[in-house]
Amino acid sequence: MQNLQAVLEGQLGLDLTGWTLTSASGVSADGTTIVGQGVNPLGDTEAFIAFIPAACPADITGDGTVNVTDLLLLLGAWGDCQP
């Protein structure tokens, strides 16, 4: 399990300064939409909806771009798979 607020801020770059996400109450079937409650910077409880961009399987580094670095990682792992 991961901390949703940490993922939204750390991995997706959202600025949630002053917010505290307190609960997630629903997730779409494809996992790209999450709804819940949080406390906004004014201290009021408020609903939130977060849209998570679908992952790009070719972006091996996870930096949002498919480029030569991803290709080199793929080529570096070329060959027989070790369990």
Q: Does 11 bind Ca ion (CB under 5 A)?
A: no
Please answer whether residues 22 and 39 qualify as being in contact, where contact means their C-beta atoms are separated by less than 8 angstroms: yes
Secondary structure string (H, E, C) spanning 24-65: EEEECCCCCEEEEEEECCCCCEEEEEEECCCCCCCCCCCCCC
Give the footprint of Ca ion on residues 14-73 (CB under 5 A).
59, 61, 63, 65, 70
Shortest reach from residue 61's CB to Ca ion, in Å? 4
Shortest reach from residue 12's CB to Ca ion, in Å? 15
Shortest reach from residue 63's CB to Ca ion, in Å? 4
Q: Which residues bind Ca ion (CB under 5 A)?
A: 59, 61, 63, 65, 70
